DNA sequence: TGCAAATTTGCACAGCAGGCAAGAATAGTC
DNA sequence: GACTATTCTTGCCTGCTGTGCAAATTTGCA
């Protein structure tokens, strides 16, 4: 296997992983989550039921699907090095919008999942729960940014990660809002645009809050 | 059954519900989540395994436990009617702090759960996910507040609920941060204080963001 | 081609979870 | 206090979920 190329093995694994997720979601739309069995899913995905569990720990995990992953290092660096002139939340807005725009081949799965999970708020909430990993990764990046922008925070590592985590969680709240309105609109407007819109509204709210706090 | 009093039936139901949650958490601390069976839980809670499922849909649901409920109407009214002079996030900070302070008899369960779930981030995340219901209830209250404060928003019901939802989700992000630092500190400082502290920090961030957005 | 490593599969089994109907406890009525 | 309706608990039975293990298959590499 030549350097840089992705081996057949890994490609097959990814394909199987996606086939399973696609199968669950399609069957869910057809007959509802509870009526779908692992046996059916496996049949549709062309694997044995035992193999299903080599890929996902549970039927639920397959329905929820893989979480998002961080944008590439170049995008991250752009965010980290934007400098103290740009406010952090605006920077996050751009970073996240960029991230979802580069979804690429996962787009079909994204829409299938949106439709299927819309019927199951519990599963949707569970998917949100799996975002914890993403949140943690994001918090690290935010910390990198704060470290550069704010020498005072940089001197206190504990306060730094604490602050980074707060910002990340708040930004994540905005992200959830963007997702919700995207889903409400049946995905007609790109998710990235929703994100920018939501963060814009957030800025409005903050400005209002600010004027009240000082006024 | 006299008016106002809670019947024996309901009291017993609540007691059983709490006994189950207590049993799961204690067994979890003793031997780990996976090693705990519904049979053991039922035995410790003095009910049949079948009855267990009359109370909780799954072992997981019992481990996660009941979500929080809204504060009393008097507290809600105080928040709703605080007037446009108080910024909404500050108001939410007080409302939420008040809510957790009136936990009362659930306090033992609260601490038991904190300890037990700390070992299981997945379950903790799941518990966060079940807060959706709480979020929705809270969003309704926030909408009531906005309707009073902002005539412009009141005229557009859709924009109103959308805005209320965004504020709620952002506040919930802050709440998650408060929970995290409370759990980190082993619950030594009251959760309510953590909440106030976190919302204070949030205000700081907003001030910074504001000065950058206008500067 | 042939060997080593990774992956898939079948099999067996414990535990989860729900439908159903019989029995027990509770509430309301007289 | 006895009677009846309602609600709750329990046992039984069943199907599905999820895992350990070992055999069989596929892929990577020389």
Euclidean distance between the first and the last CA atom of chain A, given in angstroms as a whole number? 66
pLDDT per residue over B154-200, tens digit each? 999 999 999 999 999 999 999 999 988 988 888 788 888 999 999 88
Q: Give the other-Cβ count within 10 Å of A28's Cβ.
A: 23
pLDDT tens track of chain A, all 215 residues?
Answer: 433 456 667 888 999 999 999 999 999 999 999 999 999 999 999 999 999 999 999 999 999 999 888 898 999 999 999 988 898 999 999 999 988 877 666 778 888 999 999 899 889 888 988 888 899 999 999 999 999 999 999 999 999 999 999 999 999 999 999 988 988 888 788 889 999 999 999 888 877 766 666 54
pLDDT, tens digit (0-9, with 9 covering 90-100), for A3-44: 345 666 788 899 999 999 999 999 999 999 999 999 999 999
Residues of chain A neighbouring B213 (CB-CB closer than 8 A): 87, 90, 203, 207
pLDDT of residue B6: 61
Beta-carbon contacts of residue B206 (< 8 Å; ≥ 6 apart): A206, A209, A210, A213
**Single pTM value for the model:** 0.85
Q: Higher model confidence: residue B129 or residue B37?
A: B37
b/e map A167-191, b = 16+ CB within 10 Å: bbbbbbbbbbbbbbbbbeeeeeeeb
Q: Does A173 contact B169 at a Cβ distance shorter than 8 Å?
A: yes
If you search the block for the tokens 């997702």, which residue do you land on? A179
Closest residue in chain B to residue A172, using alpha carbons only: B173
**Alpha helices, DSSP H only, in A185-215?**
191-214
* pLDDT computed for residue B1 by the predictor: 39
> Which of B88, B126, B163 faces A126 most closely, judged by CB atoms?
B126
The chain-wide mean pLDDT, for chain B, equals: 88
Transcribe A40-59 into DSSP letters: HHHHHHTS-HHHHHHH-SSH
Confidence of residue B27 (pLDDT cuts 50, 70, 90): very high
pLDDT score, position B136: 93
Predicted confidence at residue B2, as pLDDT, reads 37
End-to-end CA separation in angstroms for chain B: 66
Residue spans of alpha helices (H) in A102-131: 107-118, 121-130
Q: Is the CB of B38 under 7 A from strand C?
A: yes
Q: Is the CB of A126 under 7 A from strand C?
A: no
The whole-angstrom distance between residue A115's C-alpha and the CA centroid of its chain comes to: 16
Which residues of chain A lie closer than 8 angstroms to B143, CB-CB?
none
Answer yes or no: do A177 and B169 touch at CB < 8 A.
Answer: yes
**Separation of B108 CA and C5 C1' (Å):** 52
Query: Could you check: is the Cβ of residue B11 within 7 Å of any atom of nucleic acid strand D?
Result: no
Separation of alpha carbons A39 and A47, rounded Å: 9
HEC secondary structure over chain B:
CCCCCCCHHHHHHHHHHHHHHHHHHHHHHHHCHHHCCHHHHHHHCCCCHHHHHHHCCCHHHHHHCCCCCCCCHHHHHHHHCCCCCCCHHHHHHHHHHHHHHCCHHHHHHHHHHHHHHHCCHHHHHHHHHCCHHHHHHHHHHHHHHHHHHCHHHHCCHHHHHHHHHHHHHHHHHHHHHHHHHHHHCCCCCCHHHHHHHHHHHHHHHHHHHHHHHHC
**Span B82-98, average pLDDT:** 90
- Cα(B87)–Cα(B81) distance, rounded to whole angstroms? 12
Query: Is residue B5 pLDDT above 80, yes or no?
Result: no
Contacts of A208 in chain B (CB under 8 A): 87
Residue nearest to nucleotide D27 (CA to C1'): A9
Among A197, A115, A120, residue whose Cα is nearest residue B159: A197
């Amino acid at each position: 296997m030549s350097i840089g190329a992705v081996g057949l093995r890994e490609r097959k694994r990814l394909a199987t992983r996606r086939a399973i997720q696609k199968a669950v979601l399609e069957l869910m739309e057809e007959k509802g989550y509870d009526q779908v069995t692992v046996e059916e899913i496996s049949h549709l995905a062309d694997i044995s039921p035992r193999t299903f569990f080599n890929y996902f720990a549970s039927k639920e995990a397959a329905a929820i699907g893989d979480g998002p992953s961080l944008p590439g290092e170049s995008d991250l660096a752009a965010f980290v090095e934007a400098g103290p002139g740009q406010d952090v939340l605006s920077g996050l807005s751009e970073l996240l919008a960029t991230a979802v725009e580069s979804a690429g081949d996962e787009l079909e799965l994204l829409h299938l999942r949106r439709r299927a999970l819309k019927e199951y708020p519990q599963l949707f909430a569970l998917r949100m729960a799996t975002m914890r990993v993403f949140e943690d990764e994001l918090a690290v990046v935010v910390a990198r940014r704060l470290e550069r922008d704010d020498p005072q925070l940089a001197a206190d590592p504990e306060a730094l990660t604490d602050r980074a985590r707060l910002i990340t969680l708040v930004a994540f709240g905005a992200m959830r809002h963007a997702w919700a309105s995207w889903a409400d609109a049946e995905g007609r407007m790109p998710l990235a645009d929703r994100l920018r819109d939501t963060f814009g509204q957030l800025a409005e709210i903050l400005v209002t809050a600010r004027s009240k706090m000082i006024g």
